[in-house]
Amino acid sequence: MKERQHMLPVWFFIGLLLTAYGVIILITSLSEWSHPPAVTLARYHPGVWGGIILLLIGGFYIIKFAPRRKRQ
């Protein structure tokens, strides 16, 4: 009997990294919400939007490329 090796796709790990960075950026940006830095476009809160986008993309990669067991 031959055992098959199951390799995890690299996109799953990229999804984990994107999700982790999204959480870090979102938490940092939410802590600055009441005192935004003195830059021109701070009123749009780009860190919050960037964190949300990273969470969405990372979550998509995690769901799509998650390791699954095959039924035999």
| Domain annotation covers residue 72 | no
Residue 63's pLDDT is 95
Structure-token pair, residue 24: 């870090």
Q: Which run of H or E residues covers position 15?
A: helix 10-31
16 inside domain: yes
26 vs 54: CA distance, rounded Å = 9
1 is a domain residue: no
Range of the domain at 58: 10-64
Q: Do the Cβ atoms of 12 and 55 come closer than 8 Å?
A: no
User: How many distinct structural domains can be found in the chain?
Assistant: 1
Q: Does residue 5 sit within a domain?
A: no
**pLDDT > 80? residue 69:** no
20 inside domain: yes
The pTM of the full predicted model, rounded to 2 decimals, is 0.82
**Mean per-residue pLDDT for 45-52?**
95
Q: Is 57 contained in some domain?
A: yes
Of the pLDDT bands very low, low, confident and very high (cuts 50, 70, 90), residue 40 is: confident
Give a yes or no: residue 56 inside a domain: yes
Q: How much of the chain, in percent, has pLDDT values that exceed 90?
A: 60
Residue 4 lies in a domain: no
